[in-house]
Amino acid sequence: MHNSYKVSIIYFVFFSILLLVSAFMIFATKIGFSPADISSYYLGNEEKFMQAKSFSGLLKVIYPHIFAMALFTMVLLHFVYFTNYKKSKIFQYLIISTYLTILLEIFSPFAILQGATLFAIIKLISMLCMFILFFYIFWLLLKSILIQKNQNF
């Protein structure tokens, strides 16, 4: 791989960190980090003057995220493919767990809207797992480029 691609990937990781920070801030501002907050956000709460989310309203938010999150995940994971972790078992688990986590994160609000409030906990856990997995991928990429100076990369 051309040396300058490494520079582009390092910048891409910084952009990705910014993207996750902004997602975290949106979650903190609009929803909150407890299962009760998440249930209130989707099902509404009279005491907090919050309206319940409609099915179409939820679709409008989820629709662009399905493709955008899958594309973002694919781009990040395909960079890991060029590192020494390509043949490790952990990479295979990383691919499956990242896609499963983003699917749960995206679609769990539909279950909450159907009254399955248990999915508020699943939404919270999947979101936290998603952040951990993405930051782990960032670490793998930065480690391969800056510390190990991977020649295959």
Partner 1 sequence: MRFTLVKNLKKDRQMSTILIGLLSAILLYLLVDFFVKYFTIGLTPDALKLSLFGNEEEFVDPMGISSFLEFWHTEIFFIMMILLTLSAIYIRSVSQVKHYKFTLNLVMSSAIVSLVSLPLAYYVSESFVYLYVFTYFLWHLGAIKMSLRSLLELYA
- Residues in binding contact with partner 1, number by CB under 8 A: 23
Task: Pick the piece of the chain touching partner 1 (CB under 8 A) from 6-14, 43-51, 84-92, 102-110.
Answer: 6-14
Cβ-based nearer residue to partner 1, 79 or 85: 79
Looking at 36, 50, 66, 75, which residue binds partner 1 (CB under 8 A)?
75
The residue among 125, 124, 70, 71 whose CA lies nearest residue 102 is 70
Chain centre to alpha carbon of residue 85: 21
* Nearest-10 Cα torsion for 133, 1, 6, 141: 20
The answer to whether residue 23 forms part of the interface with partner 1 (CB under 8 A) is yes
Q: How far is the CB of 115 from partner 1 (least distance, A)?
A: 26
Cβ-based nearer residue to partner 1, 7 or 146: 7
Q: Residues 6 or more apart from 144 whose CB is under 8 A from it?
A: 83, 84, 85, 150, 153
The answer to whether residue 92 forms part of the interface with partner 1 (CB under 8 A) is no
Q: Are 124 and 38 in contact (CB under 8 A)?
A: yes
Dist CA 7 CA 4 (whole Å): 5
Residue appearing with tokens 């930051």: 135
The answer to whether residue 101 forms part of the interface with partner 1 (CB under 8 A) is no
Cβ-based nearer residue to partner 1, 25 or 90: 25
The answer to whether residue 71 forms part of the interface with partner 1 (CB under 8 A) is yes
The answer to whether residue 73 forms part of the interface with partner 1 (CB under 8 A) is no
Helices 118-142 and 55-80, interaxial angle, to 10°?
A: 30
Question: What is the contact surface with partner 1 in residues (CB under 8 A)?
Answer: 1-2, 4-5, 7-8, 11-12, 14-16, 18-19, 22-23, 25-26, 29-30, 68, 71-72, 75
